[in-house]
Amino acid sequence: MASQDSKSKEGGQVDGRRLVMVSNRLPMSLERTEDNDWQTHPAAGGLVSALDPVMRRRGGVWVGWPGIADEATDTLRDVLDARYNADSAYRLEPVALTRDDIADFYEGFSNEVIWPLFHNRFTVCRFEPDYWQAYQRVNREFAHRISEVARAGDFVWVHDYHLVNVADELRALGVHNRASFFQHIPFPTADIFCNLPWWREIVYALLSYDFIGVQTVTDRINFLDVLTTLFDHVETQAGEYGIDINIGDDGLTRDKQQLRIGTLPISIDYDHIERMAASEDSLTKVQRFRGNWRDRTVVIGVDRLDYTKGLPEKFEAFREALRRYPELRTRVTLQQHVVPSRQRVPQYVEQKEEIERLVGEINGEFTEPGWVPIHYSFHSMDQAELMAHYQVADIALVTPLKDGMNLVAKEFCAAQRDSDGVLILSEFAGAAAELGDHALLVNPHDVVSTAERIHEACYMAREERCRRMDAMREIIRSHNAFDWVEEFLRAAGANQ
């Protein structure tokens, strides 16, 4: 481990301890240009959008992969030092990955095994032994990098399903800093989880953490059920910051027999979203977009390309609404933005083809002169443009089949500065636990009831729209990303 007089950037103090953030991706991506120079790009994704503002406020160290393959660690560090670390409130420490690592660890085990399994799609999992070997190897490499930059007393916070094994690998290296883990995606039921050939190894690795945070009560219950499947003697006791777990000595071969699990739903930087929505850049785009849509009711969807997001079901529900309620035709438009993702994974290629076929079918069935029912875009957007689309929209249609949280739902509400919008939300999104009393909840598999909700939202009285939206905005405002971090650190005992 690095010594106390390490030259790493100061900051991230938690009562004298630095915060060492660990995730698969750094918040900054690197790219070589054709003339062998370097470009930097802010990384996208819910995790980065939630944690980057927190790290900017706190400082500290963030360990992760900078998005480029087959580069030496020293090279990556030098580029980050020159392009980012010198002027940043926190330091980025790169983990170098090869193309084989990306293929087998990231695209393979992470996204063809854990991702579908934890989203109840275990029938599409590819349980390749080489994937598991790569997952262990890369987690070991992450642990090695952490051991190089962490000081005695630093608090290590590991994020998400790519890096479950990190704490176990740290212990093997003799690093015994307090380490906590946050699971951003759902945790499956025991009968689903146990389809994983290496499920016992994953459970043992999780037991190496001092604290585990999950998004919902359901995730916590599912994790405890997995423990009782593996161990005969599991005792739980409700504590101030979660559930304290004690496991008997009935086959557990590790020294660690206690941990705590807490339900800590992630949030957004509410103030930042509100400021971006009110920015001159965003408001200029709002005026242009409103001119395009005129007096039509705009339903917005913003989803990453993924089979868990329920995009085919969403389009079928919209088609059902147009069939059942002819008065919606020419009045309502679905503006669907799909953000590119994992385009080398076969299931994602198939998903893109399916949704584009559906869009073509529905537009072919209903298009009239001057009106196209679905405006589909496959692209990424900057934040000002996204905030403008949110503000122009009258209804957000957020209907994942399974989602750990879904920050789009929260961002849409935060951007509704006039509170005159309706959120239609899947009951299978983690956000439903917080916003479900005020959103219109749907089961995305039930296209008829979803169509009915679309119709209801289109004709909802302004007073009710504002009442519901005001309530959701207050929930999100009163529990923002910074509150979430502070709650996590308290629950994880970061000050101990």
Q: Annotated active-site positions, please?
A: 184, 403
Helices and strands per DSSP (H, E), number in the chain = 19, 17
Buried b (16+ CB within 10 A) or exposed e, 217-243: ebbbebbbbbbeebbeebeeeeeebbb
CA distance linking residue 320 with residue 467, whole number of Å: 28
Sign of the torsion angle spanned by Cα atoms 239, 241, 242, 248: negative
| Residue 129 token pair | 């032994």
Strands 60-65 and 90-94, sheet pairing: parallel
Residue 380: closest CA among 305, 284, 280:
305
Q: Which sign does the torsion angle of CA 103, 353, 325, 422 carry?
A: positive
For residues 400 and 270, give the distance between their C-alpha atoms in angstroms, rounded to a whole number: 22
Q: Can you list the alpha helix ranges (DSSP code H) found in 93-247?
A: 99-101, 115-118, 129-149, 166-172, 190-193, 199-206, 217-230
Q: Tell me if 338 sits within 8 A of 294, measured CB to CB.
A: no
Contact assessment for residue 302 and residue 408, using Cβ atoms and an 8 Å cutoff = yes
Within a 13 Å sphere around the CA of 196, how many CA atoms are in the beta-carbon half? 27
| Separation of CA 299 from chain center | 23
Candidates 126, 212, 106; CA nearest to 167 is 212
Tell me how far apart the alpha carbons of residues 38 and 178 are, in angstroms, rounded to a whole number: 36
H/E run at residue 374: strand 374-378
- Residue 489 corresponds to which tokens in the numbers above? 């650190």
Token pair for 472:
């959701």
| Strand-pair partners of 25 | 65
CB 95 within 8 A of CB 63: yes
- Which tokens belong to 4? 């106390």
